[in-house]
Amino acid sequence: MSGVHIEIGRPQQAVRQWSAKSIYFSLLESELSARTKAESAAFLARQLSETHSHATSMPATLAELETWLAEHNELVGHQYHEYLAGRKAGQPRRYFRSKSHALFFLRAVAPTKLVDGSWLYGLMKHWQDPRLVSLIKIYLEELGDGVEAMNHVVLYRKLLKLNACEDWKNLDEKFFTQGAIQLALATHTDSHLPEVIGFNLGYEQLPLHLLITAYELKELNIDPYYFTLHTTIDNAQSGHARGAIDAVREAMPVFADASDYMQRVINGVKLNDVGLSTLDIIQQFDMQAEVVRILQSKANIGQFMHSDRCVIGGRTVNDWLKEQDQVALFLQEMEKTGWVKRHHNPEESPFWKVIAGDKAPMFGVFTGYEQQVIYDWIAGEALESQLMLARLGKPWRMVEKQAIAHDEALHKKYGNVYDFRSGHKLTQQMRQANDFNQDQLAFERHVHGIDDEQILMDFLVEWMSPAKHYTPLGLSATRYFKSHMDSLF
């Protein structure tokens, strides 16, 4: 936790300041402690209070939602058309100045994208309630209906892996706020149903930044599929945006206070404003500062790893790295001494040759993301003049195809025993049980051994949590759950 402060007028009472990052990871644990539940509830209440006065374009009546949705999509469509016309006329990318800038963004939004759809999880235990069918359908689709290739979190995890951006857990506190909100809504749905419905309504509307992001990622040789998927699945006619409005109507109370319900829905919509926005995150990127941060992250170990014969600016590299606040000066000295030749082809810089390439002396010290940042920083004003392969790497389709082939080989070797729609054994039996498929086989036996419907669904729902649904067993549970729901509704 980040400490306490004392309220004026209440000198004897300490009020805890919760860390969004701490709450985020606590809410992803298998068993939630009473303390985690209490702190996340207070965190959620504070965010609702702070956003209560925020303005929103959402109407206060159900009858106006259709028009609101249509007008929003028309506006976004016009804005995107203007963006495309500008690009065609020669305007530069609006969001990402370089590939490292785009990768910074992918990494920075990871805490939010890796809990995609989580705000709806608390509804799953109410699977028998027909008022929640639209919302449950949306959650299942966020989970890809149990199909790995369509599960949104699986897709984003693969995107991070392909681009060597998997160290997102080291991000600063400010990048975890929105994800913590989503997980808190999942945890406290029973007391915040209208707010969950409202948050979903706001989140599922197609934003302009999603369209531009997908367009520019593709230009920078980064697979845009995760983002293009959301532009199609969230469509206003038959997608999640449509389902979000249906959900508001389906859960509208018949005898209780409908106006209070709508106000709480609006309060949930406003929770989308919590934390850094997409544009805020894009604007956070400072290439010079990021290079310094990367070198500082290596300093604790690096200060012992270099030969004393390596002297730059009158000091050994080990000496430079002893104090993190000296790293910025170290970079300046590398420029002065020619170790780094800014605004030239990075291949001309000895420092780049030391860290890049399979046979480089420091091979493996810097991740792919970190190397991209350093490459773009060295190239500087000469970046766009570099060869595309050197500047952007291999075409993403080629890299992805290699990864898919590997995954398919594993699936063929350790495939599933049961058809998850029919529940019957496959005609082609899995190979003999081994140490790699024991969990899967035990899961199958357990599921097929449960006769009580409620116990079965409770078990499946547990495996469909934000912390588990993207795992092989979580995907299996999702397929079973969807199969049962399809038979009911």
In this prediction, residues 38-59 reach a mean pLDDT of 95
Which structural domain, as residue segments, surrounds residue 432?
414-488
Q: Are residues 313 and 421 in the same domain?
A: no
Name which of 1, 241, 213 is nearest 109 in CA terms.
Answer: 213
Q: Is residue 15 part of a domain?
A: no
Using DSSP's 3-state secondary structure scheme, residue 161 falls into helix
Name which of 370, 352, 354 is nearest 362 in CA terms.
Answer: 354
Q: Is residue 46 part of a domain?
A: no
Given a contact cutoff of 8 angstroms between Cβ atoms, the answer to whether 340 and 332 are in contact is no
- Domains identified in the chain, total number: 3
In order of 62, 69, 79, 201, the CA distances from 75 in angstroms are 21, 10, 6, 17
Distance CA 220, CA 11 (A): 55
Q: Are residues 185 and 268 in the same domain?
A: yes
Q: What is the tens place of the pLDDT at every residue in 86-130?
A: 999 999 999 999 999 999 999 999 999 999 999 999 999 999 999
Q: Are residues 210 and 317 in the same domain?
A: no
Using DSSP's 3-state secondary structure scheme, residue 418 falls into strand
Largest CA distance in the chain: 81
- The pLDDT of residue 67 is above 70: yes
Report residue 457: phi and psi, to 5°: -65, -35
Distance CA 265, CA 281 (A): 27
Q: Are residues 273 and 300 in the same domain?
A: no
Q: What is the tens place of the pLDDT at every residue in 259-297?
A: 999 999 999 999 999 999 999 999 999 999 999 999 988
Q: Is residue 234 part of a domain?
A: yes
Distance CA 224, CA 230 (A): 10
Q: Is residue 264 part of a domain?
A: yes
* Domain end position, chosen among 247, 267, 283: 283
Distance CA 302, CA 151 (A): 39
CATH of the domain at 149: 1.20.910.10
Q: What is the tens place of the pLDDT at every residue in 185-205?
A: 999 999 999 999 999 999 999
Structure tokens at 255: 């005898």
Q: Is 178 exposed, middle or buried (0-12, 13-18, 19+ CB in 10 A)?
A: buried
Q: Are residues 259 and 110 in the same domain?
A: yes
Q: Is residue 196 part of a domain?
A: yes
Least confident of 21-25, 29-33, 237-241: 237-241
Q: What is the tens place of the pLDDT at every residue in 298-321?
A: 876 654 455 566 777 778 877 787
Q: Are residues 260 and 304 in the same domain?
A: no
Using DSSP's 3-state secondary structure scheme, residue 157 falls into helix
CB atoms within 10 A of CB 349: 23
Using DSSP's 3-state secondary structure scheme, residue 468 falls into coil
Residue 241 pLDDT level (bands cut at 50, 70, 90): confident
